[in-house]
């Protein structure tokens, strides 16, 4: 297992970190699953098997699996396993309303995780509004206090917003680490590669989430894309290419991957046993650029997710709608994409809420005809009544 030394914390962590957001679930009587009902026996077995094989970084969060992920992770780390890993979890900033809430949630998490300290404590899913909220409530002073008390070792944040907000947050505090979404298809989405490099230039270690774009890159690729991958000198799965593209970057210290089966765990262990920064050849990079270009051709809309179009005066979740629409174009999973879109309809941020004011189109750096594209997306994704 490849390990990398973090600059700020001095921690040496395995490049593969186990993410505890997609643990195996128990089936209900009707064959369906409840995301909150973790199959604890299998989950604990897999987490421990990963640690036994060299994984030294475990990531969880307060809301994962309906609040049960931290509890199961805590059980998995008993019996001497806690001492073998760096443990990361996240403060649910959206639930905080006053300064005292910071310590209250941290204490609850320490209890659930059965530990007296958390190695990497992240402000969860920061964006412009949530950052402004917790900053004004004094979260930076809280992090200093929690460090001094020994409850956390290192202060960090995970991020979901545009690059300008990311830079503002990075420059606001002496962060030990940050966590961003990055993968082959999200090169310029949210913080993106530019954010990765920005953090790296400031000595802030970066942990990667969604390396397979929510499973999109783990699915069987379209035939023409698979044919491109087959041109490589070394035969690799798309999953392996996706992981290697990230591991090639020296700023990346940990790549989080959720595990649902023992087979997934073993495949990840195999891939990360032979990664290193700078491993990809010029020919590899050229092939990856070809694959990225072909994926972009297949996309319904050339949205990079920069989020400059937001906030929409009518609350339309423009980038999220376009991502769901593109997923349909790439995978053909109409039923799954319609379910995702139905959730947006239930929250009244679907495309039908657009009043065609045009504000978004004046802001879009890609020059997308957003209004007409929203109409098309709504037509494709709206399931019959």
Q: DSSP readout, 215-283?
A: TGGGSPPPHHHHHHHTTSSS---HHHHHHHHHHTSTTEEEEEEE-SSHHHHHHHHHHHTT--TT-S-HH
How many domains is the chain built from?
2
Q: How far apart are CA 242 and CA 247, in angstroms?
A: 9
Q: What's the whole-number mean pLDDT along residues 31-54? A: 93
- Using the predicted structure, report yes or no on whether residue 305 has a pLDDT greater than 80: no
CA distance 347 to 14: 39
pLDDT at 229: 96
Residue 72 lies in a domain: yes
Q: How many CB atoms lie within 10 A of CB 96?
A: 20
Q: Is the pLDDT of residue 96 over 90?
A: yes
Angle between helix axes 163-170 and 128-136 (nearest 10 degrees) is 20
Between residues 330 and 81, which one has the greater pLDDT?
Answer: 81
| Domain contains 128 | yes
Assess if residue 74 is contained within a domain.
yes
3-class DSSP state for residue 181?
strand
279, 304, 338 — which closes off a domain? 279
The Cα 211–Cα 239 span in angstroms is 9
Pairing of strands 118-126, 152-159: parallel
Pair 371, 252 in one domain: no
Residue pair 350/337 in contact by the 8 Å Cβ criterion? no
Residues 229 and 343 in one domain: no
328: in domain: yes
In this prediction, residue 248 carries a pLDDT of 97
**Torsion angle in degrees (nearest 10) through CA of 235, 237, 243, 249:** 30
pLDDT of residue 282: 95
Which of 254, 279, 304 marks a domain boundary?
279
Torsion of CA 49, 52, 56, 57, to 10 degrees: 10
Mean pLDDT of the region 278-303: 91
Secondary element (H or E) of residue 51 = helix 40-52
Within a domain: 287: no
Q: pLDDT (tens digit, 9 = 90+) per residue, 130-157?
A: 999 999 999 999 999 999 999 999 999 9
297 band by pLDDT with thresholds 50, 70 and 90: confident
Angle at 363 between CA 360 and CA 368, to 5 degrees: 70
Q: Mind listing the pLDDT tens digit for each residue in 229-257? A: 999 988 899 999 999 999 999 999 999 99
Are residues 58 and 201 located together in one domain of the fold?
yes
Residues of the chain with pLDDT > 90: what percent? 78
* Whether pLDDT at 379 is above 70: yes
The answer as to whether 297 is a domain residue is no
In terms of domains, do 251 and 354 share one?
no
Q: Quick one: pLDDT band at residue 301, thresholds 50, 70, 90?
A: confident
Burial of residue 230 (CB within 10 Å: 0-12, 13-18, 19+) is: exposed
Please list, in sequence order, all residues whose beta carbon lies within 8 angstroms of the beta carbon of residue 156, skipping any fewer than 6 positions away.
Answer: 88, 120, 121, 122, 123, 175, 176, 177, 178, 179, 207
Domain range spanning residue 42?
Answer: 3-279
For the segment 174-185, the average pLDDT, to the nearest whole number, is 95
Q: What CATH number is attached to the domain comprising 48?
A: 3.20.20.100
Model pTM? 0.84
260 and 376 within one domain? no
The reported pLDDT for the residue numbered 385 is 57
Q: What is the pLDDT of residue 371?
A: 96
Considering 252, 279, 306, which residue would you say is the last residue of a domain?
279
């Amino acid at each position: 297992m490849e390990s990398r030394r973090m600059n700020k914390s001095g921690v040496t962590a395995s490049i593969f970190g186990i993410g505890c957001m997609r643990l195996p679930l128990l089936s209900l009587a009707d064959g369906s699953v409840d995301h909150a009902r973790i199959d604890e026996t299998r989950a604990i077995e897999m987490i421990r098997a990963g640690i036994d094989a060299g994984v030294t970084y475990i990531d969880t969060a307060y809301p994962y699996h309906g609040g049960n992920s931290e509890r199961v992770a805590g059980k998995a780390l008993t019996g001497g396993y806690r001492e073998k890993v760096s443990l990361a979890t996240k403060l649910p900033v959206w639930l905080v309303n006053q300064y005292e809430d910071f310590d209250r949630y941290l204490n609850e998490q320490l209890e659930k995780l059965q530990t007296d300290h958390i190695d990497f404590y992240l402000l969860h899913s920061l964006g412009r509004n949530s950052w402004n909220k917790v900053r004004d409530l004094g979260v930076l002073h809280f992090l200093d206090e929690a460090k001094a008390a020994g409850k956390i070792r290192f202060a960090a944040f995970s991020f979901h917003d545009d690059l300008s907000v990311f830079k503002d947050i990075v420059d606001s505090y002496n962060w030990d680490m940050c966590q961003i979404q990055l993968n082959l298809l999200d090169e310029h989405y949210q913080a993106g590669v530019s954010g990765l490099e920005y953090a790296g230039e400031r000595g802030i270690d970066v942990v990667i989430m969604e390396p397979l774009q929510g499973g999109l890159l783990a699915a069987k690729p379209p035939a023409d894309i698979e044919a491109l991958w087959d041109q490589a000198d070394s035969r690799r799965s798309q999953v392996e290419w996706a992981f290697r593209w990230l591991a090639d970057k020296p700023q990346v210290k940990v790549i989080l991957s959720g595990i649902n089966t023992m087979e997934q765990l073993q495949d990840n262990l195999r891939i990360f046993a032979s990664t290193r920064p700078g491993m990809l050849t010029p020919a590899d990079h050229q092939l990856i650029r070809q694959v990225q270009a072909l994926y972009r051709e297949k996309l319904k809309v050339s949205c990079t997710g920069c989020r400059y179009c937001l906030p929409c005066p009518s609350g339309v979740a423009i980038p999220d709608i376009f991502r769901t629409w593109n997923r349909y174009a790439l995978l053909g999973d109409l039923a799954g994409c319609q379910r995702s879109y139905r959730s947006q309809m239930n929250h009244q941020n679907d495309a039908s809420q657009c009043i065609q004011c045009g504000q978004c189109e004046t802001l879009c750096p890609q020059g997308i005809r957003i209004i007409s594209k929203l109409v098309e997306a709504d037509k494709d994704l709206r399931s019959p009544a």
